[in-house]
Amino acid sequence: MNAPVNTVRGDLIRPFARKDAEAVSLLFHALMHHARDAAPRRLAAYLGSHFIDGPFADPEIPSLVYVSDEEEVEGFVGVVVQPMVYRQKTIRAAILGTLMVKGHDRAPTIGARLLRKAVSGPQDVTLSETAGEASLAMWRQLHGTVLDRYSYDYFRVLRPVSFALAVMARRVPWLAYATPVAQLLDRLAPRDGSRLGWTGLPGEFRTHGGVYARRVSVSDFARLTEVLLSADAVRPVWPDGCLPALIAEAMDKPEYGAPHLCEVVTRAGHPIGGFLLHFAPGALAQVLDVLHAPGQAGPVFDAMLCYARDLGACGVRGRITPSLFDALVSRKTPLAHAGASVIHGKDTALIAAFAEGRAHFNGLVGESWTRIIGGSFN
């Protein structure tokens, strides 16, 4: 008797190998970029270097592929391992991303099997940044927990008319030609220059106490990152001193524009935070991560807004973290659900530490820093 079409044998799921890189790149190019042409050769090379050779690759917790009886790759889940320190002990956090299935309607169980296999490894905890509706249902079946305060994007308006135009131009590209008119209307619009209103950020607005942002080198930002995240109950550690290389890769996102790596300092020059954003003229500034010292989320966020305004950005968009939540709410910053951050594991105390916001996740800790998101392989 023939097996049903959507039956998936466990032995058809195996670790991602270098020979799979080209097939996975084709799958990625078709499903993620909605492209029908051949995948760029550099994409296959990157997938191999990142998921097999990279500092976050762990052979005990590999990325996985599903292959058909004809050895054709039909599914993939990317896995990297972020070492973290929790209760004076180094743990391994498997971060899952890029879950892809070819012909999902024909074989709907492939994604679920890949996910189940990935979370069953020897890692201490499993995380994912942007679970969509389909994969979120799979996570719930596996008793995963949604991290609500990591699961929203914020949108901060700086120039309201230009902001509205930039958002509409993503669907109707020719509207971008009206940008000069929108910029003129923003300059003419009356606003109270002393207040941080939700509809815009006047040119006269300044941060309290003279806090400001200035650009810094990759090495300086790496040192600042380690200091600012050292107080978290669950803190990341970077193998082999690779944090500067990670930051450099996070800056390489031409799809979002030019990178701006900044620290935020007091008038006396004492650093209290930092951020990485990308900006292209006529668009929103895309914020990868915002870091801050305890109690300094508001001043650091305000300094970032002033910096983005002075660049000419019409607004900023970024991923929320729990430590930013109060600052965003007090500044009437709109939030939108763009995909769920989820966690799976057996240690309930560790899961609670994430759920309560005592761990930094998203941005430089996760998948968003990689060239897979916003990078170019042409």
Report pLDDT digits (tens) over 90-114: 999 999 988 888 876 656 688 899 9
Query: How far is the C-alpha of 359 from the C-alpha of 354, rounded, in Å?
Result: 5
Query: How far is the C-alpha of 322 from the C-alpha of 345, rounded, in Å?
Result: 20
Q: Are residues 133 and 182 in the same domain?
A: no
User: Do residues 125 and 158 make contact, with C-beta atoms less than 8 angstroms apart?
Assistant: no
| 327-347 tens-digit pLDDT | 998 888 889 987 899 999 999
| Domain membership flag for residue 364 | no
Q: Are residues 206 and 119 in the same domain?
A: no
The answer on pLDDT for 10 being more than 60 is: no
Half-sphere exposure of 230 (CA within 13 A, CB side): 8
| 236-267 tens-digit pLDDT | 999 888 999 999 999 999 999 999 999 999 99
CATH of the domain at 258: 3.40.630.30
Q: Are residues 44 and 76 in the same domain?
A: yes
User: Do residues 305 and 299 make contact, with C-beta atoms less than 8 angstroms apart?
Assistant: no
Query: How far is the C-alpha of 299 from the C-alpha of 297, rounded, in Å?
Result: 6
The answer on pLDDT for 372 being more than 50 is: yes
Residue owning tokens 């806090």 = 211
Q: Are residues 157 and 104 in the same domain?
A: no
| 127-141 tens-digit pLDDT | 999 888 888 889 999
Confidence of residue 189 (pLDDT cuts 50, 70, 90): low
Residue owning tokens 């701006």 = 260
What stretch of H or E contains 32? Answer: helix 21-32
Provide the token pair at 297: 């989320």
Q: Are residues 68 and 110 in the same domain?
A: yes
DSSP 8-state class, residue 85: E
Q: Are residues 157 and 103 in the same domain?
A: no
Q: Are residues 119 and 165 in the same domain?
A: no
| Domain membership flag for residue 163 | yes
Q: Are residues 56 and 73 in the same domain?
A: yes
Q: What is the pLDDT of residue 191?
A: 58
Choose one of 115, 148, 181: the last residue of a domain: 148
Q: What letter represents residue 31's amino acid? A: L
Q: What is the dihedral of CA 359, 92, 242, 271, to 10 degrees?
A: 10
Q: What is the CA radius of gyration of the chain?
A: 22
State the total domains in the chain.
2
Choose one of 81, 116, 148: the last residue of a domain: 148
| 270-283 tens-digit pLDDT | 999 999 999 998 78
| Domain membership flag for residue 357 | no
Q: Are residues 160 and 102 in the same domain?
A: no
Q: Are residues 261 and 205 in the same domain?
A: yes
| Domain membership flag for residue 4 | no
Burial per residue of 193-210, b for 16 or more beta-carbon CB atoms within 10 angstroms, e otherwise: eeebeeebbbeebebeee
| 154-181 tens-digit pLDDT | 998 887 777 777 777 777 677 677 776 6
| Domain membership flag for residue 376 | no
| Domain membership flag for residue 101 | yes
Q: Are residues 165 and 118 in the same domain?
A: no
| Domain membership flag for residue 365 | no
| 216-236 tens-digit pLDDT | 999 999 999 999 999 899 999
| Nearest of 311, 324, 313 to residue 362 by alpha carbon | 324
Structural domain of 21: 10-148
Q: Are residues 254 and 233 in the same domain?
A: yes
| Nearest of 254, 226, 271, 261 to residue 377 by alpha carbon | 254
The answer on pLDDT for 44 being more than 80 is: yes
| Domain membership flag for residue 356 | no
What is the value of pTM for the model shown?
Answer: 0.88
Provide the token pair at 44: 């296959």
| Most distant pair of Cα atoms in the chain: their distance | 78
User: Do residues 110 and 68 make contact, with C-beta atoms less than 8 angstroms apart?
Assistant: no
Q: What is the pLDDT of residue 91?
A: 97
